[in-house]
Amino acid sequence: MTKRPHIGIAGAGLAGRLLAWRLLRANCRVSLFDAHTRDDLASASHTAAAMLSPLAELAVSDDAVFELGQRSMQLWPHWINELAAHGAEPVYFRTEGTLVVAHRPDSASLEHFTRLLTHKLPDACRGQVQALDAQQLAQLEPALAGRFGSGLFLQGEGQLANDQLMAALAHDIDRLGGQWHERRTVDCLDERQVVCGAVRHAVDVAVDARGVGSKADWPAANPLRGVRGEVLRVACAGVTLQRPVRLMHPRYQLYVAPRPGNQFVVGATELESEDTGPVTVRSVLELASALHSLHPAFGEARVLRMSAALRPALNDHRPAVDRRAGVWHINGLYRHGYLCAPALVEDLMHKLLPGDDAVANPPTL
Ligand SMILES: Cc1cc2nc3c(=O)[nH]c(=O)nc-3n(C[C@H](O)[C@H](O)[C@H](O)COP(=O)(O)OP(=O)(O)OC[C@H]3O[C@@H](n4cnc5c(N)ncnc54)[C@H](O)[C@@H]3O)c2cc1C
C-alpha cells in the first residue's frame, strides 16, 4: 500500500474533525490539535442549528455555496451511514424539507424571499420550491394548522443533530487511531510543523481549520472575521414539528429546528460583532417571541441552553480551501458550514492526496 502522509490539523471543529476522519478513513496518519476539549460547546460547530438548506441559503448567498450544498447533500447520507456502520451512536439526520412561513402582516417578507429565491434558483431545481395554501401547509405540518394563510415548501432540504455528529466523529477518529491533542493552543503552523507554545510537532502536511482562531493569519486583502450568532435550545412536549420552520419577518429571519426528544433549536441572530459573551436579553426576547408566535404552546417550553458563537466569515461569504506559505487552509464556512463541509472536505482531500483512489473509495477500516 502507498505510504500516506502524516497530516497535522489545527482545529477540531466541524471542518477539522470531518477532514481528520476522512483522512483516517483513507489510511493517513492524523494528528488533531484543539485549544479546547472535544466536548467543549463553545465553537460555532457545537452551537449551530445544523440545518442543511441549499435552497433557503441561496437567497442570501450565491451559486458557489449552492453547488457545494448540492454536493454535500449527496455526501451526508453516505458519510452518516459509514459512521453508524462502525459503532458510533446514530446521528439524527433528516431530509424532510423546510417550511417557510410568515404571519399575515409580514407576508411581504415571504413574497420577497420567494422572488429572490426563484430568481437565483437554476431552472432544473425550480420544482423543489412549492407554494402552499393553508390546507396544504396544515397537511404537511399539522401542528401549524390554521396559523398561517400560506407558506413555501423547500423540498429535499435537511438537518442533522450536530452534537451527535461531533460525538460520532470523535468516536470514529479514536477508533481509527487519530491522535487528539486536546487543550492544545496552536500558535502557528508552517509547511512541516504545528507549533504549540514551545512544542513543535513535525508533520508532512499542515492544515489550518481553526475558524476565527486563525484570524491573524489571513491577509489584509482577504480578511477573516467573526459574525456572532445566538441560539436557544428548548424542550417542549406540546408541539411536534417534522422539519425546520423558517419564520420570515421584516426585521429578522428566525427558524425553529426540531431535534430528538421534543427538543428544538431556535435561531439565529446574526450580528457584526466578535463578542463571544453570553446571549443578550434583546436576543432572547427576539428568539423567544418568534418561537411563541409560531405556536402558543411554545410558551411552556423549557429553556435548556442559550449559546453564542462566532461564524468564521470572509468578505465574499464563500468558504475557502487554499494553500498559503505551504499551509492548507479550510475556513470561511460562515453560516453554511454544515451545508458545505462535506464538499469542501472532499475537495481538500483531492488536493492533499491527488489521484489517490482511497479518497473516493475508502478501504474498509
Ligand atoms: C448560531 C449559529 C447557527 C448556525 N447554523 C448553521 C446551520 O443551520 N447550517 C449550517 O450549515 N451552518 C450553520 N452555522 C455555521 C457553522 O456552524 C459554521 O460554519 C461551522 O461550524 C464552522 O466550522 P469550523 O470548524 O470552520 O469552525 P469552528 O466551529 O469555529 O471550529 C474551530 C475550532 O478551532 C479551535 N481553535 C481555534 N483557535 C485555536 C487555536 N489557536 N489552537 C487550537 N485550536 C483552536 C476551536 O476550539 C474550534 O474547536 C451556524 C453557526 C452559528 C454560530
**How large is the C-alpha radius of gyration of the chain?**
21
Sign of CA dihedral 266, 52, 317, 341: positive
Preceding amide of 143 cis, omega within 30: no
Output the CA–CA distances (angstroms, integers) from residue 164 to 169, 343, 363, in the order listed: 9, 20, 24
Q: Calculate how far, in angstroms, residue 142's C-alpha sits from the geometric centre of ligand 1.
A: 34
Residue nearest to atom 27 of ligand 1 (CA): 211
Of 160, 168, 177, give the one whose Cα is nearest residue 23. Answer: 177
Query: Which of 21, 57, 210 has most ligand 1 atoms within 8 Å of CB, for mutation?
Result: 210
- Going from the N-terminus, what domains does the chain have, and what CATH number goes with each? 6-360 (3.30.9.10)
Protein residue whose Cα sits closest to atom 21 of ligand 1: 45
Pocket probe for ligand 1: among 37, 45, 255, 265, the residue whose CB has the most ligand atoms within 8 Å is 45
Ligand 1 within 6 A of CB of 56: no
CA dist., res. 136 & res. 133, Å (int): 5
> What is the C-alpha separation between 127 and 170, in angstroms, rounded?
38
45 CA distance to ligand 1 centroid (A)? 4
Which residue is closest in CA terms to ligand 1's atom 51?
A: 48
User: Ligand 1 pocket, 16 CB below 6 A?
Assistant: yes
Report whether residue 17 contacts ligand 1, using a CB cutoff of 6 Å: no
Q: Whole-model pTM? A: 0.96
Nearest CA to ligand 1 atom 20: 337
Per-residue pLDDT of the chain (365 residues; tens, 9 = 90+): 567 899 999 999 999 999 999 999 999 999 999 999 999 989 999 999 999 999 999 988 999 999 999 999 999 999 999 999 988 889 999 999 999 999 999 999 999 999 999 999 999 999 999 999 999 999 999 999 999 999 999 999 999 999 999 999 999 999 999 999 999 999 999 999 999 999 999 999 999 999 999 999 999 999 999 999 999 999 999 899 999 999 998 777 899 999 999 999 999 999 999 999 999 999 999 999 999 999 999 999 999 999 999 999 999 999 999 999 999 999 999 999 999 999 999 999 999 998 887 777 777 77
318 lines ligand 1 (CB under 6 A): no
Q: Does residue 185 have its Cβ closer than 6 Å to ligand 1? A: yes
Q: Residue 244 corresponds to which cell in the numbers above?
A: 425546520
Distance CA 312, CA 227 (A): 7
- pLDDT tens, residue by residue, 20-34: 999 999 999 999 999
| Share of residues in the chain with pLDDT > 90 (%) | 91
Q: Is 336 in the pocket of ligand 1 (CB under 6 A)?
A: yes
| Phi, psi (degrees; rounded to nearest 5) at 165 | -65, -45
